Amino acid sequence: MNSGVWEEVGRAGLWNEWCGAKAAADLAPAEASCIFYRLRSGPSVLLCQCSCYVAEDQQFPWLEKVFGSRPRRDVQVTVLTCRHVTDYKSPESPGSLPTPFLRALKTRAETEPPGCPPLEQPNIAHDLPAAVLSFCQVWKVPAVLYLCYTDVMKLDLLTAEAFRPALSSQSLRGLAQDVPQSRECLKRLAATDEVQSNIYT
């Protein structure tokens, strides 16, 4: 988002046990769970930042609101998400895996190979990313999900950089600025978080 000018075009508020005590109607605009942005230089590019857990019974209505009941097939969807490495099943123990690492799942309609290995069986994706990908698979929309497995629970530079192969995909290639500037931006974001987490200051 640091690479271009994005304007906010919509918000979606929802409430469930994981969001906290406030009802959806009481959420202030700044607390909305999903914010939709449009790229000013390319209005056909939309970005959704989802900062809250979307519960199972909310996922289907969320999809219908965002995509409609039958999406257009000329839409291209990319989903980025993270999971803890203990969710990843492999013959090796989670502690010995070289985290963070990226895996991808794509729909049949997506013909470009993703820039990272496919998610191996028996691993699966769930929650909202799975709901989006299922929807796109059924309605033949090109879509790819990039799943980063990490061993930290907070924003850190290494985990953010693990998404770099996703930035060279056809859909995101033109949106990310050149490498040195994005690295600096990530360092600033990660540093802010580190200071706040120091209990001795």
Partner 1 sequence: MFVPCGESGPDLSGYTLLMPAVSVGNVGQLAIDLIISTLNMSKIGYFYTDCLVPVVGNNPYATAEENSTELSINTEVYSLPSKKLVALQLRSIFIKYKSKSFCEKLLSWVKSSNCAKVIVLSSSHSYHRNDLQLRSTPFRYLVTPSLQNTVQNQLMNLNWEEMEKSPRIPEINDSDTCIRIPGGGITKTLYEESCSREIPMAVLLKFVSEGDNIPDALGLVEYLNEWLHIIQPRSADPTTSALPWKMPSSWKLLFGSGLPPALF
Residues binding partner 1 (CB under 8 A)? 56-57, 59-61, 88-96, 105-108, 118-127, 130-131, 133-134, 137-139, 145
From the CB of 133, what's the least distance to partner 1, in Å? 5
From the CB of 131, what's the least distance to partner 1, in Å? 4
Residue closer to partner 1, measured from CB, 147 or 160: 147
The answer to whether 44 touches 75, Cβ cutoff 8 Å, is: no
The answer to whether 130 touches 54, Cβ cutoff 8 Å, is: no
Backbone φ and ψ of 159, nearest 5°: -65, -40
From the CB of 161, what's the least distance to partner 1, in Å? 25
Residue closer to partner 1, measured from CB, 40 or 89: 89
Residue closer to partner 1, measured from CB, 126 or 154: 126
DSSP run (H or E) holding 104? strand 101-106
From the CB of 162, what's the least distance to partner 1, in Å? 20
Strands across the sheet containing 77-84: 77-84, 143-150, 101-106
Q: How far is CA 190 from the centre of its chain?
A: 18
From the CB of 47, what's the least distance to partner 1, in Å? 22
Q: What is the DSSP string of 169-189?
A: STTTTTTS--HHHHHHHHHHH
Spatial separation of the C-alpha atoms in residues 159 and 157, rounded to whole Å: 6
